[in-house]
Chains A and B, each alone.
Chain A
Amino acid sequence: MNQGPGVSGISRRDFLRAGMVFGAGAAGLAAGYAAVPDVFARAVYTAKQDGVVNDRVLVMIQLAGGNDGLQTVIPLANSRYRDLRPQLSKAADTALPLNEQWGLSASLGGLHKLYGEGKVAIVQGVGYPQPSQSHFDSIRVWETADPTRREQDGWLGQTIAKNYDTAGHPLIGCACGTTSVPGALRDLEATLTVVQDQKTFKFQGGEDVDRSVGALYTGTPGIYGALFDTAVATARDTVAQLKTSAERYVPKAKYSDDSRLVYSSKNQLAAALQLAAELIVTGTGVKVLHVTLGGFDTHYAQQNRHEQLLAYFDQAISAFYEDIAAYGMSDRVVVATWSEFGRRATENASAGTDHGTAAPVILFGDPVTGGLYGQAPDLAKLDPRGNVGYEVDFRSVYQEILGSHLGVDEREIFSESFERVPFIKRA
C-alpha cells in the first residue's frame, strides 16, 4: 500500500491556486508545483491523525427502502425458504452459486464474477438488537451507528471530522448523485460536498457570480448563518476542483443509467458511481463517498422490480470496478452496501415482502478477502413476528472498514467495541 503524504501547512486557496489538486506527491509539493505521473492519483489531503495517511477510499452504496436479503443472497436448497416464499423462491432455480448452500440472484452476474476472483465479501445476518421496522428510525440507527438513538452525527461524518482536515478540501467527503447531505455523512464539524450532476455543477454567470456569492455569504447572521456560508464556500471550492478533475478523466468503462427504472428518483446510480470514479482517479483527495439507489421497499409485486434493481446495481458497480481497475486504482477502494433492514421472511399476499430485520452486507474491491462471513439467518427460527434474528452487529462491519481499511482509530467513533469481521486483507 502506498503511503501518501499528508499535505500540511498549505492553505486551501494556495492549494487551489497553485493547481496542486492532483499530480502532487510529496516531492511535487516540496517543489511547489509538479505533476508526478506515478502519484497522479494519490490522495492529496491533510490528515489530522497519523494512521489515516494512506490512499484508501471508501464508497458506501445505500440500498434505500430495505433490500430483501433473501432475494439477494439466496438459499439454494432450503425447503423452509420455499415454504415461506412460494412465489419469490423461484429465484433459487436461477441463482448463481456461491457454495452448495447459497447463491447470488441471477441479476448479479458481474458481482458473481468478482466473487469468483476473490474480491467480494458477503457478511450475512447483519443487524442490531431490538430492530426497528420503521424506515426512518432504522436508517437513523445505521447512519449514526447508534441503536440507542442518542447520537446525532453520522458515523462517516464523524470519521471525516475527526481524521481529516477538510478546509478547502470539500471532496474528502462527497455524496454523489443527490442534492442533500446523507445522514451518514452529517457532522457539523465536517465539510463535505454534495454533487448531483457534475456537468451542471458550476455557477451560471461564471467567475463574477462565483465571487459575488462568496461575498454575499460571509458572516451570515441567524441560526442557519454558518450552515449557509459553509455550503456556499464548499460549492465554490467544489466548482474549482471539478473543473480541473473533469479535464483529466475519461471513463474507461461503459456506465449507463437505466431510464426505464422509474421506481425511485434516486436511480442515477451509474452516473453517481462514474462521478465517484472520476473523483478517485483524478486524485482529488476523496476519502469517503456516498451514493444511493432507491426503490427497495418492495411490498408489492416484488420479483420483477427487485430483479431489475439488482441488475441495474450490478451493471453500475461492474462498470465502476472496471473503470477504477483500468486506472490502476482498484487496490485502494472498498465499496460497501447498506440498507436500513432486510425484509420479512414470509412473502405477503401481494407477492411482495414487508419490513424485516437482518440482511447481508456486500463489500467488494481488491483490498477485500473474498468469501462468506457472519452467519446465515436460520429460517426455522423466526421471531413471533416472522423475522429472522441477527447474527452480526452492523458496527462489527463498520469498525472493520474504519480500522482495517481507512486506518482510522474506530474507538474515536464508537463507544463500544465489536469483534471485527476480518474481510479486509491484512497488510
Chain B
Amino acid sequence: MVEQVVTRRTVLAAAAAGGAGVAASRLLAAAAPPARVPVPVTGTQANAMGLDWVSPLENTPAKIAHLLRRTSFGYTQAELEQSVSDGYERTVDRLVDTKIAEPPAFPNGDNASRGQPLKIGELQKWWLDWMLASPTPFAERLTLFWHSHFTSDFRKVGAQSPFMYWQNLTWRKMALGDLRSMLYQVTIDPAMLDYLDLGQSNPRNPNENYARELMELFTMGIGSFTEEDVKAASRALVGWRAPRTEQMVKAQVEESIKRTGNPPPNVPKSDTSRVGVFERNRAVQGGITFLGQTRQWDTQSVIDRILEQESTAPYLARKLAVQLVTPTPSDAYVSQLAETFRRSKYSVKDVIRQIFASPEFTAPTAYRSLIKSPIEYMLSAAKALGNPALTSVVTASGPGMGMTLFDPPSVGGWPNNESWVSSNAMLTRVNYATAAVQQTRKLPPSGNAHEVQLDAVLGPPTLRLLNEAGDERRRWMLLLASPEFQLK
C-alpha cells in the first residue's frame, strides 16, 4: 500500500471527482512519534449524506472478513487467515454445512424445578461461553436470531422448569432447518407454551396470545390477516400444555407438604416428553373458518395454511436479509429470496446460501451498513483480544446496552441497528471497551489490528487517535471503542 500524504479535503475532492476506489490506511508503529505523522489516505469518501466508508469488498480478504463479521461472534487473526486461505466459497460451505455443534450440557439444567431453579445468570454465561467456543459460530448467531424472532423470556416463563434452557437447545438444532418443521417445534415448545399462553388456553374462551403473534410476528406480518383469523387460529390450536418433569412434580409435592403438611390432592403425573403434550379433550371440534378455509383444523394444518399465504415467504426473507445484508433490502431482492424459500420447501439454509452468493451481500452499500448488537459487539471484542474470560463482563454490561439473553424487551424481540444507539448505550459500549482491555492481561499485538478487524478502512479521527496512542492498551481500547468496530 502506497502511503500518500493528503488532507481530508483532497480525499473528499478526489472522491467526488472520480469516485474513490478502495482506499486504505496504514498505521505507523505504536512507537512512532505522534507529531508530524503524514495523514494516510483514509477509508472514507464523500456521498450525498456526507462522508461514507470506502467499501473494500472487492478484495477477497475484506470480503471474507465481512462474511465472518456477519456470521460469527468475531474472529482472531488466525481465524481470519485460515478463512482467507480457504477462500470465500469454502468458508461459506464451512459456515453453512458443518454439522451444528452442541454445547456441553448446562449443569442441572434438565432438573430445574421450584426447589432448584435455573440459575439464569449462569445460563447466560453458559451460552456466551459457547458462542465464543463453538466450532460452528454461525449456528450460534442464528440461534440468537431465532431467539429474537421466536421470542420467550425467563421473566414470564420462569426459572422453575428447564424450559428456557431446552428452548435454546431446540432453537440451535433447528437453526438451519425448514420453516414448516420449525413452526411446529416452536408451537409446542414448552417455554413458548408458557410465554404466549397457548399451554393455558381453553376451548371455552381461547387465549389469543400465541395465535396472534404466530401470524403477526413469526410468519405473515401485520395486515395480512384479520381479527377473525386470530380468533379462529386460537380455537384451532387449543389443546397443548407444557410437560411436567419428574423433578417439577416432586418439587410441587414437597412444596405442598411444606406448606400444608399434605401432598396436593391430585398429584399430577410427570411426563417423559420434552415438548408440549396434546390433550385431545381440550381441543375444539368442528369446522372453523381460518384464512378463508373452513374445515376441522389441527396444529399441522394451521401451519400449512400459514405457509400457503403469499405474505409468509417474503416476511421471513426480508427479516433474514435485514439481519445479514442491509437495513434496506429492495423489494426485488426480497422477492428473489422469497421465491427460493418457497421453491426449496422453506429451507432456511437455501435462502442463506443464496444470500451469501448474491451481489447484494457484498455491494458497496452493504459495507458497514449494520450495527453490531451488544452481544455481537462485546463478543467480537473478546475474540479480538483473545480473552474468552470476558463473558462475565459481557453479562454485566449487556443490560446497559439494551440486551440481556433470555430476556428480550418484548415479544417482538430485540430491535436492530439505529435502535442500539443512545447516550446510555454508547457510554456502556465505551465502558465495556475500557473494562475488556483492562481485564486482559496479555494483549495480542495491536500493530495490525486495524487491518485484521477493520479492513484498514478508518475514519480520520480513529486513524489519528490510533497513530497518537502511546501504548498497546490505549490502542486496543480506542479500536474497540471506535465507530468502525461498532459496525458489521
* Assembly CA distance A213 to B200 (angstroms): 51
Contact call A193/B423, Cβ cutoff below 8 A: yes
Contact call B369/A223, Cβ cutoff below 8 A: yes
Contact call B482/A348, Cβ cutoff below 8 A: no
Shortest distance between the CB of A71 and any CB in chain B (Å): 17
The interface bits of chain B over 396-433 (1 if a CB of A lies within 8 angstroms of the residue's CB, else 0) are 00011110100101111001011111111111101100
Minimum CB distance partner of A349 in chain B: B202
9-residue interface stretch from A30-38, A46-54, A158-166, A260-268? A260-268
Residue from the list A181, A195, A266, A300 in contact with B197, Cβ < 8 A:
A300
Contact call B434/A205, Cβ cutoff below 8 A: yes
Contact call B400/A136, Cβ cutoff below 8 A: no
Contacts known (A133-B212, A221-B44); A227 close to B418, Cβ less than 8 A: yes
Shortest distance between the CB of B193 and any CB in chain A (Å): 11
* Assembly CA distance A44 to B170 (angstroms): 55
Contacts of A375 in B (CB 8 A): none
* Assembly CA distance A352 to B200 (angstroms): 10
Contact call B461/A218, Cβ cutoff below 8 A: yes
Tell me which residues from 110 to 165 in chain B have a Cβ below 8 Å from any Cβ of chain A.
153, 155-156
Interface check B190, CB cutoff 8 A: no
Residue from the list A200, A301, A355 in contact with B208, Cβ < 8 A:
A355
Contact call A265/B155, Cβ cutoff below 8 A: yes
Contact call B461/A216, Cβ cutoff below 8 A: yes
* Assembly CA distance A420 to B483 (angstroms): 46
Contacts known (A179-B428, A203-B427); A216 close to B487, Cβ less than 8 A: no
Contact call B402/A228, Cβ cutoff below 8 A: no
Contact call A64/B410, Cβ cutoff below 8 A: yes
Contacts known (A205-B434, A265-B404); A222 close to B418, Cβ less than 8 A: no
Interface check B253, CB cutoff 8 A: no
Contacts of A9 in B (CB 8 A): none
* Assembly CA distance A246 to B469 (angstroms): 33
* Assembly CA distance A234 to B409 (angstroms): 24
Interface check B41, CB cutoff 8 A: no
| Total cross-chain contacts (CB, 8 A) | 198
Interface check B389, CB cutoff 8 A: no
Tell me which residues from 65 to 88 in chain B have a Cβ below 8 Å from any Cβ of chain A.
none
Contacts of A203 in B (CB 8 A): 427, 430-431, 434
Contacts known (A195-B423, A216-B482); A348 close to B216, Cβ less than 8 A: no
* Assembly CA distance A212 to B437 (angstroms): 15
Contact call A228/B421, Cβ cutoff below 8 A: yes
Contacts of B156 in A (CB 8 A): 263
Shortest distance between the CB of B164 and any CB in chain A (Å): 13
* Assembly CA distance A385 to B412 (angstroms): 24
Contact call B419/A136, Cβ cutoff below 8 A: no
Residue from the list A136, A209, A300, A346 in contact with B207, Cβ < 8 A:
A300
The interface bits of chain B over 314-330 (1 if a CB of A lies within 8 angstroms of the residue's CB, else 0) are 00000000000001000
* Assembly CA distance A220 to B42 (angstroms): 12
Contact call A354/B155, Cβ cutoff below 8 A: no
Contact call A265/B409, Cβ cutoff below 8 A: yes
Contact call A179/B422, Cβ cutoff below 8 A: yes
Residue from the list B50, B206, B327, B464 in contact with A221, Cβ < 8 A:
B50
Contacts of B53 in A (CB 8 A): 221-222
Contacts of A204 in B (CB 8 A): 430-431, 434-435
Contact call B422/A180, Cβ cutoff below 8 A: yes
Contacts of A234 in B (CB 8 A): 423
- Which residue, of B209, B327, B420, B464, has the highest number of chain A Cβ atoms within 10 A? B209
Contacts of B435 in A (CB 8 A): 204
Contact call B205/A136, Cβ cutoff below 8 A: no
Shortest distance between the CB of A261 and any CB in chain B (Å): 9
Contact call B155/A264, Cβ cutoff below 8 A: yes
* Assembly CA distance A209 to B449 (angstroms): 20
Contact call A224/B200, Cβ cutoff below 8 A: no
Shortest distance between the CB of B198 and any CB in chain A (Å): 10
Contacts of B371 in A (CB 8 A): 224
* Assembly CA distance A226 to B459 (angstroms): 13
Contact call B426/A228, Cβ cutoff below 8 A: yes
Contacts of A136 in B (CB 8 A): 216, 222, 410, 412
Interface check A421, CB cutoff 8 A: no
* Assembly CA distance A64 to B234 (angstroms): 23
The interface bits of chain B over 324-354 (1 if a CB of A lies within 8 angstroms of the residue's CB, else 0) are 0001000000000000000000000000000
Contacts of B369 in A (CB 8 A): 222-223
Minimum CB distance partner of B203 in chain A: A349
Interface check A143, CB cutoff 8 A: no
Interface check A396, CB cutoff 8 A: no
Tell me which residues from 285 to 327 in chain A have a Cβ below 8 Å from any Cβ of chain B.
294-295, 297, 299-301
Minimum CB distance partner of B370 in chain A: A224
Contacts of A352 in B (CB 8 A): 197, 207
Contacts of B415 in A (CB 8 A): 180
Contact call B419/A225, Cβ cutoff below 8 A: no
* Assembly CA distance A294 to B200 (angstroms): 21
Contacts of A212 in B (CB 8 A): 465, 478, 481
Shortest distance between the CB of B252 and any CB in chain A (Å): 16
Shortest distance between the CB of A58 and any CB in chain B (Å): 20
Interface check A78, CB cutoff 8 A: no
* Assembly CA distance A116 to B220 (angstroms): 49
- Which residue, of B212, B401, B410, has the highest number of chain A Cβ atoms within 10 A? B410
* Assembly CA distance A221 to B200 (angstroms): 51
Shortest distance between the CB of A2 and any CB in chain B (Å): 29
14 contacts between A and B (CB under 8 A): A136-B216, A178-B402, A179-B401, A194-B423, A200-B400, A213-B430, A215-B464, A215-B465, A222-B483, A222-B487, A224-B418, A228-B483, A231-B421, A235-B426
Further 4 A-B residue pairs, CB within 8 A, beyond A195-B423, A347-B205: A170-B423, A195-B424, A224-B371, A266-B409
Q: B-contacting residues of A (Cβ < 8 Å)?
A: 64, 132-137, 170, 175, 178-181, 193-197, 200-205, 209, 212-213, 215-228, 231-232, 234-235, 238-239, 262-266, 294-295, 297, 299-301, 346-350, 352, 354-355, 385
Q: A-contacting residues of B (Cβ < 8 Å)?
A: 44, 49-53, 153, 155-156, 196-197, 200-209, 212, 216, 222, 227, 230-231, 327, 368-369, 371, 399-402, 404, 407, 409-412, 415, 417-428, 430-431, 434-435, 459-462, 464-465, 477-478, 481-483, 486-487
